[in-house]
Structure 1
Amino acid sequence: MVKTGLDVLLAERRDLLSGRRVGLVTHPAAVRADLTGILDALLAAGVRVTALFGPEHGFDAAGADGAAIDNSVEPRTGLPIFSLYGPVKEPSAEMLADVDLLLFDMQDVGVRFYTFLSTLYYVLRGAAKADRPVIVLDRPNPINGLAMEGPLLRKELESFVGVAPMPIRHGMTMGELARYLNGTCGLGASLTVIGMRGWRRYMWFDETGLPWVPTSPAMPHLSTATIYPGTCLVEGTNLSEGRGTALPFEVVGAPWLDGYRLAEALNKVGLPGVRFRPLSFVPASSKHAGQACGGVQVHVTRRDVFCPVLTGAHLIAAARAQAPGEFQFLPSSWEGKPPHFDLLAGTPRLREGIEAGESVQALVDGWGVEVARFDQERKAYLLYG
């Protein structure tokens, strides 16, 4: 079984926390192998935790996607919970007044636009400004640390769903990302990463022996995380990405789509490691809530060759081709910046090409060069073979 950074800290490096007031940045998926949460584990070990910090969805992971989270109080301990997802996304000097160091532990899903990466960026930046050291406890990249896919984020499209020039699927752990962000973005934080024991880059989460805990309300399973790098792009359209169903990001559709025709068109493409099954579904919330949607379920048949971002691009292009009068890319985002699809993709080129009717293959052909460049840049910050 893989030992997480939390396990290693408690077994070998408690000295790093001795006599210090600790601000804990975390969420419910940061657990030990017996499902003990990090806050309980630290308090049982005698660590002096003085403040808590929560990301998108909140410290308790109960908030909806994109919903601002208020500051609050942890009911069992009375500790203050400072929200890092709302008007303030960077820990301020006031928040850190009773904190000697920040301890960061979050289970990520290995995707650039999953916002825990952005929270990590702002934690490092805020800590550097306040002259507080940061310790990052590492956890597995659940969709492995080898595969990378998608275009690199363009500078002009930086946002909270993209803070650094990396592909959509980056193949790095949070500890490695902390090193990468601190080094390439010039954040200047005093950073210590407590690495894992026994994790290898080829591993998927279900090969680690660790228990899966949903990382957010719409990330219930490893199967969700496997497909998410591609189907999250659907958020930038008027298609339902399956929010409000039991299979978020695994089903995609709309009231005006014919699921049988869509599945047939996608299966004819012969994409690697995936099949599409027609279905009808009724979202209980989010887009098209209460309406019957025709669409497809994405079934991964061979995850070792499956390309989620390529698959997501084909799915969106096929939906638009079937119903060009009804399909729309959303004109803006919740950040009030360029189209949300562009922020997710990291480039306007994919949206513009799909709108122009270009072949998806022509649109993705240049990604390999960009990924290879990123792969070279990231090597200096990797911790595992």
Structure 2
Amino acid sequence: MLKNKKVAVVGNQTSMIPGTSGQFVHLVDTLLNSNIKVTKVFAPEHGFRGKADAGETIKDGIDAKTGLPIISLYGSNKKPSAEQLKNIDVVIFDIQDVGARFYTYISTLHYVMEACAELNIEVLVLDRPNPNGNYIDGPILEKEFTSFVGMHPVPVVHGLTIGEYARMMNGEGFLKNKIQVKLWVVNLKHYNKNETYKLPIKPSPNLPNAKAINLYPSLCFFEGTNVNAGRGTNLQFQVFGSPYLSAEVFNFEYTPQSNEGSKSPKHLGKVCYGKNLSNSENLNYLQLDWLIEAYQNTENKNEFFNSFFNKLAGNASLQEAIKAGKSAEEIKASWQDDLADYNKRIKPYLLYE
């Protein structure tokens, strides 16, 4: 499929495959060693080598190992331009996703597919397992809350591999003007979504292990509040806390510090009161009780939510329901009809049992 074609790769530190020596080798190096004409690399949030903070501007540059030009797809340039894709025959997308709507790599995939469709360039997605692929949960995004942390009418936990997600974007007309790209997906062998898949490489700086990845869909809501979700600790997305939570209710204390992946974490240098979830049982559903409990036990409730929360939720109703004192069960009941419809809609795009 790639022979005699000029290739661009959208990748990061997770774009690894096992080499002959048993160690991981980067996809770009593997392709070059196989005489594939890779001419440039596109880098998503966190950069090509995956060391930048969340939300940090990624600069264009040159990959020191291969000498290939690296073009950032984060910041002001989220969609490859016609000039950047000039003389490219096929774009390979190979990035590990974690199955949550607000994880921005699926938004990068959207813009890559859209740009390639407009220029009649093929897209080849190398599929990877979804570590949160064994369940589907959360509200469906409403159109007026579309942003880079939620571009499509899907639930918070979408249950698809990155290859299935690409097929859905094409088939459901999610791209601009309902344009479709010539899409190839290289399927996974022997993959079962109900089997636990432990990622061999951390997918981003603040998802260091399987527990953080499992808790991420539930704890990421705290990014839209004044609660710290473990950034600035070595338990990112495994603890939460803030100086405004009741120390009597939340008896776990920690102090966020500047570290790799979070140079300026929320409540830097301040004692936070919260919970340590690093030894909790694995979730196979979206947990709202922690969010509700934090809201109910915070000082100055009118300062709890920030403007980012509704983008993460994909609606205004979740925040309103929490403020109104509704339980997690009541809130989740309101999603069920939409989730049943979503489960029917995705069937044509599924590649695995």
The TM-score, its normalising length taken from structure 1, stands at: 0.85
Q: Indicate conservation of the 8 Å contact 1:212/1:221, yes or no.
A: no
Q: Indicate conservation of the 8 Å contact 1:92/1:130, yes or no.
A: no
Give secondary structure in 2 for the equivalent of 1:53: strand
Deviations 1:224-252 (A, max 9, x none): 11000010000000011110110111100
Determine the structure 2 residue equivalent to 1:51. Answer: 40
Regions of 4+ moved over 3 Å: 299-302
Q: Indicate conservation of the 8 Å contact 1:133/1:189, yes or no.
A: yes
Equivalences for residues 163-312 of structure 1 within 5 A: 163-184=151-172, 185=174, 186-206=178-198, 212-259=200-247, 261-262=249-250, 278-284=251-257, 285-299=264-278, 301-303=280-282, 306-307=284-285, 309=286, 311=287
Give secondary structure in 1 for the equivalent of 2:113: helix
Q: Indicate conservation of the 8 Å contact 2:164/2:349, yes or no.
A: yes
User: CA 1:297 to 1:113, structure 2 compared with 1: closer, same or farther past 3 Å?
Assistant: same
Give the partner amino acid of 2:325: G
In the alignment, the residues of structure 2 paired with residue 90 and residue 259 of structure 1 have an alpha-carbon distance, to the nearest angstrom, of 45
Give the partner amino acid of 2:324: A
Shift of 1:349: 0.6
Shift of 1:324: 4.0
Is 1:160 the counterpart of 2:160 in the alignment? no
Deviations 1:277-322 (A, max 9, x none): x42111114110011111101246443x642x2x2x2212211211
Q: Indicate conservation of the 8 Å contact 2:235/2:278, yes or no.
A: no
Shift of 1:255: 1.4
Give the partner amino acid of 2:341: R
Give secondary structure in 1 for the equivalent of 2:222: helix
Give secondary structure in 2 for the equivalent of 1:32: strand
Determine the structure 2 residue equivalent to 1:26. Answer: 11
- Structure that is richer in helix per residue: 1
Shift of 1:326: 5.7
Determine the structure 2 residue equivalent to 1:10. Answer: none
Determine the structure 1 residue equivalent to 2:107. Answer: 118
User: CA 1:192 to 1:108, structure 2 compared with 1: closer, same or farther past 3 Å?
Assistant: same
Shift of 1:147: 0.5
Give secondary structure in 2 for the equivalent of 1:317: helix
Q: Indicate conservation of the 8 Å contact 2:122/2:181, yes or no.
A: yes
The TM-score, its normalising length taken from structure 2, stands at: 0.92
Determine the structure 1 residue equivalent to 2:260. Answer: none
Determine the structure 2 residue equivalent to 1:345. Answer: 313
Shift of 1:260: 5.0
User: CA 1:76 to 1:325, structure 2 compared with 1: closer, same or farther past 3 Å?
Assistant: same
Determine the structure 2 residue equivalent to 1:147. Answer: 135
Shift of 1:327: 6.6
Determine the structure 2 residue equivalent to 1:368. Answer: 336
Q: Indicate conservation of the 8 Å contact 1:141/1:204, yes or no.
A: no
How many equivalent residue pairs?
339
Unaligned 5+ segments in structure 2 are 258-263
In the alignment, the residues of structure 1 paired with residue 104 and residue 134 of structure 2 have an alpha-carbon distance, to the nearest angstrom, of 21
In the alignment, the residues of structure 1 paired with residue 216 and residue 226 of structure 2 have an alpha-carbon distance, to the nearest angstrom, of 17
Unaligned 5+ segments in structure 1 are 1-15, 263-277, 332-338
Q: Indicate conservation of the 8 Å contact 1:24/1:51, yes or no.
A: yes
In the alignment, the residues of structure 2 paired with residue 191 and residue 19 of structure 1 have an alpha-carbon distance, to the nearest angstrom, of 19
The RMSD of aligned alpha carbons is 1.6
Give secondary structure in 1 for the equivalent of 2:232: coil
User: CA 1:168 to 1:24, structure 2 compared with 1: closer, same or farther past 3 Å?
Assistant: same
Q: Indicate conservation of the 8 Å contact 2:298/2:304, yes or no.
A: no
Q: 1:84 aligns with which of 67, 70, 73?
A: 73
User: CA 1:19 to 1:306, structure 2 compared with 1: closer, same or farther past 3 Å?
Assistant: closer
Give secondary structure in 2 for the equivalent of 1:216: coil
Give the partner amino acid of 2:271: A
In the alignment, the residues of structure 1 paired with residue 97 and residue 27 of structure 2 have an alpha-carbon distance, to the nearest angstrom, of 15
